[in-house]
Structure formats: structure tokens, C-alpha cells
């Protein structure tokens, strides 16, 4: 198989390392460069291959047909522009170009939902980890008009600490996180809300959304527990996802609620749904689980890159 040269900007963080590891095992991609300013000149073993980090400014941008940017939010957009100017495609894992963030709209890479927009894209905004888990759980209901008019959807979610990045923060030390659990961005203030609201609205959603993320004492994984007031009880509560995602290799629908263990190190979203018993308002409990670094970041980015580059979509992705 021909290996298409790709580059990674911001390769030393959790998402960047995961990208390098997936690329190392991808039969259709070759890593042209990996940048990391603070670790320039260092080597790391990622996915069974040795990677040597260079400074961002030393990246041979023109050597790659496609560049993944795992640079921090705010810093990424400028580099996306540079890469486009030399004619390479970009998959941007930052939030800079995602819907709801005020930037000029670019294709959004929630692959199973938006894949027809991707083949010609020069840049793809890769979804956030929480939005991936929550939108895949909500869109089949929203698009069918099943959400009760004027309702409030409650999305509680919990993420492993790699979601907070590989930065030296005291509150993320092992001694602080072990045996703890807490909510953050309480009051509906998380920066992923605009992205979720924007995509829901574009799909006909009218409901309000309350999103409360939590920090779990685990390395990887997101579990979202979502409560959706419905217009009516569903005969088969799994039918909307079974229909929308029939044949999708990276979407698993099951009557049993998903656990982190079902999804970590895999490029899948796993979804379950049950009606809440004993309440007057018909309400569905939808549970959705992903690995925040794989389907929630690097895996979906490679899935999008496969579509952009004309590679068979599941190629190189861990299942």
C-alpha cells in the first residue's frame, strides 16, 4: 500500500502522541514530521516506531500531503493557515475552527454524520471529545424530531484526566486525583457547549442543553449519561441509532449500558438507551462512551484524514 506522507504539529501532548502511534501502525500513512517546541531534538517511542520531535518552525510542511494539528486552542488556527498556504490538507484537532466558535465555517469531522462533506475539504475541524460522545448520542433523536419541544436535555459526562492534557498542573497530580471525583465548569459554562449547540441547531434541534463535565480518576475514556425528554415513548429505544448508524464499523449500539472498558484504546462510540420508568414525561436515558484520545481525538482525526485522502475509511484504526 502506498504510504502518504503526513505531519503532526504538536506531537508531544496526549492527542499528538496518540496520533503518532496510530500513524506508525497505519499501512497508508508515513510520518513526515512531528513537532514539539519544548521537546525539540528529543526522541520518543510511539506505536512501536521512534519519533524525533522538531520545532514547529522547522517542520517541512511541504513534505506532507496532510497535516494534523494538535496544537493548543488559540495557537492552532495560524498554523492551519500556514499549512493551507503551502497546499497541504489539514485536520485540526483544536477548537479554533469548530462550529460555534465564530470562525469561518469549515467542514466538521464528525465522520459518520458529515462524511460526505469531507472528500474535497482542504481543512477539517475535528470534533471535541465531549461533543463526539454527546452528539452521536443526540443527533438521531434530534433529526427525527423526537425531543419534546422546549425541553431541556441534561448531559452529564465524566472524563479521564488525559482530557485535561499533559500539562504540569498541581490539581492533576496523581496524589490529588486518586480517590477523588468532581464536577467542573458547573453552571453550564464549558467551552464545548457552543460546539454542541451549534451542531444540534443545524440539525433542527430546539431543546436547551445543560452540560456538566466531571473529572474521573482514570487515564482515558468518557462516559456521557444523557436525559432526553421525548415527544412520545419509543417502541424500540435503540431504533434511532440502529437506523442512522447501520453498518458503521465504529458505532456500537447495545442494550447493555456501555462502560469505559468497552471502548478504551478503540476508535468506537458505544451507545445504549432506555426509557426511564415511573415518570410522567416520556424520557430516554442515553449512555454514550468513547476513548477521549481515540474516537474523541486522534482516532477520529485519522478517520477523517482517511476520507479526505481517499483511503478506505477504517484503515489503520484500532477496533
Instruction: Point out which span in 61-69, 73-81, 93-101, 273-281 binds a copy of itself (CB under 8 A).
Output: 273-281
User: In the set 44, 103, 154, 234, which binds a copy of itself (CB under 8 A)?
Assistant: 154
**Angle, alpha carbons 199-202-208 (nearest 5°):** 70
52 strand-pairing partners: 43
Q: Does 106 bind a copy of itself (CB under 8 A)?
A: no
Return the residues of window 208-267 that contact a copy of itself according to CB under 8 A: 208-210, 212, 214, 216-221, 223, 225, 227, 229, 257-261, 264
From the CA atom positions of the chain, what is the Rg in Å?
19
Binding residues with a copy of itself: total (CB under 8 A): 67
Residue 101 beta carbon to a copy of itself: minimum distance, rounded to whole angstroms? 16
Residues 162-181 that bind a copy of itself (CB under 8 A): 162, 166-170, 172-181
As measured in angstroms, the least distance from the Cβ of 166 to a copy of itself is: 6
| N-term to C-term CA, the chain | 20
User: Catalytic: 20?
Assistant: no
Minimum distance between the CB of residue 155 and a copy of itself, rounded to whole angstroms?
10
Q: Name the pairing type of β-strands 182-183 and 152-159.
A: unpaired
For a copy of itself, give the closer residue by CB, 7 or 229.
229
Provide the grid cell at 103. Answer: 470562525
Q: Are 20 and 302 in contact (CB under 8 A)?
A: no
Cell readout for 227 is 436525559
Stretch of residues binding a copy of itself (CB under 8 A), selected from 65-73, 156-164, 296-304, 307-315: 156-164
Which residues ranging from 278 to 317 are in contact with a copy of itself (CB under 8 A)? Answer: 278-281, 283, 285, 287
Least distance in angstroms from the C-beta of 9 to a copy of itself: 20
Burial profile 171-204: b = 16 or more Cβ within 10 angstroms, e = fewer: eeeeeebeeeeeeeeeeeebebbbbbbbbbeeee
CB of 265 to a copy of itself, least distance (A): 8
For residues 102 and 91, what is the distance between their CA atoms, to the nearest angstrom?
18
Q: Residue 154 class from Cβ within 10 Å (0-12 exposed, 13-18 middle, 19+ buried)?
A: middle
Q: Verify binding: residue 276, a copy of itself, rule CB under 8 A.
A: yes
C-alpha grid cell for residue 77? 488556527
Q: By CB under 8 A, what part of segment 3-32 binds a copy of itself?
A: 14
Angstrom distances, CA of residue 210 to CA of 98, 152, 157, 288, 312: 19, 7, 11, 16, 37
Nearer to a copy of itself, 80 or 260 (CB): 260
Residue 129 and residue 219: Cα distance in Å, rounded?
Answer: 14
- Enumerate residues 188-207 that contact a copy of itself by CB under 8 A: 188-189, 193
* Of 36, 129, 297, 309, catalytic: 129
In this structure, the number of other CB atoms found within 10 A of the CB of residue 169 comes to 11
CA-CA distance, 79 to 84, in Å (whole number)?
9
**Among residues 85 and 170, whose Cβ is nearest to a copy of itself?**
170
Partners of residue 251 on adjacent β-strands: 269
Q: Which CB atom, from 92 or from 252, has the smaller least distance to a copy of itself?
A: 252
Q: Does residue 277 touch a copy of itself according to CB under 8 A?
A: yes
Chain residues in the site for a copy of itself (CB under 8 A) = 14, 48, 150, 152, 154, 156, 158, 160-162, 166-170, 172-184, 186-189, 193, 208-210, 212, 214, 216-221, 223, 225, 227, 229, 257-261, 264, 272, 274-281, 283, 285, 287, 319
Q: Which active-site residues does the annotation give? A: 129
Amino acid at each position: 500500500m502506498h504510504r502518504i506522507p503526513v505531519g503532526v504539529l504538536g506531537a508531544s501532548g496526549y492527542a499528538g502522541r496518540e496520533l503518532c502511534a496510530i500513524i506508525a501502525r497505519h499501512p497508508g500513512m508515513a510520518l513526515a514530521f512531528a513537532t514539539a517546541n519544548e521537546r525539540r531534538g528529543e526522541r520518543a517511542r510511539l506505536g512501536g516506531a521512534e519519533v524525533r520531535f522538531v520545532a514547529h518552525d522547522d517542520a517541512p510542511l511541504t513534505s506532507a500531503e496532510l497535516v494534523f494539528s494538535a496544537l493548543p486552542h488559540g495557537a492552532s488556527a495560524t498554523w492551519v493557515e500556514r499549512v493551507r498556504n503551502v497546499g497541504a490538507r489539514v485536520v485540526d484537532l483544536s477548537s479554533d475552527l469548530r462550529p460555534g466558535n465564530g470562525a469561518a465555517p469549515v467542514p466538521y469531522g464528525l465522520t459518520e454524520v458529515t462524511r460526505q462533506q469531507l472528500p474535497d475539504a482542504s481543512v477539517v475541524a475535528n470534533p471535541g471529545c465531549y461533543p463526539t460522545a454527546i452528539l452521536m448520542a443526540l443527533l438521531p433523536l434530534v433529526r427525527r424530531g423526537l425531543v419534546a419541544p422546549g425541553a431541556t436535555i441534561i448531559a452529564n459526562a465524566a472524563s479521564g484526566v488525559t482530557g485535561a492534557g499533559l500539562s504540569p498542573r498541581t490539581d492533576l497530580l496523581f496524589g490529588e486525583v486518586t480517590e477523588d471525583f468532581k464536577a467542573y465548569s458547573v453552571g453550564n459554562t464549558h467551552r464545548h457547549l457552543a460546539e454542541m449547540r451549534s451542531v444540534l441547531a443545524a440539525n433542527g434541534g430546539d431543546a436547551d442543553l445543560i452540560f456538566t463535565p466531571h473529572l474521573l480518576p482514570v487515564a482515558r475514556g468518557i462516559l456521557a449519561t444523557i436525559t432526553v425528554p421525548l415527544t412520545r415513548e419509543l417502541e424500540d429505544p435503540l431504533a434511532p441509532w440502529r437506523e442512522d448508524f447501520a453498518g458503521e464499523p465504529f458505532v456500537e449500539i447495545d442494550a447493555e449500558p456501555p462502560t469505559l472498558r468497552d471502548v478504551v484504546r478503540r476508535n468506537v462510540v458505544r451507545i445504549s438507551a432506555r426509557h426511564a420508568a415511573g415518570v410522567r414525561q416520556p424520557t430516554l436515558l442515553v449512555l454514550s462512551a468513547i476513548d477521549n484520545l481515540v474516537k474523541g481525538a486522534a482516532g477520529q482525526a485519522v478517520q477523517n484524514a482517511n476520507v479526505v485522502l481517499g483511503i478506505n475509511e477504517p484503515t489503520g484504526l484500532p477496533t
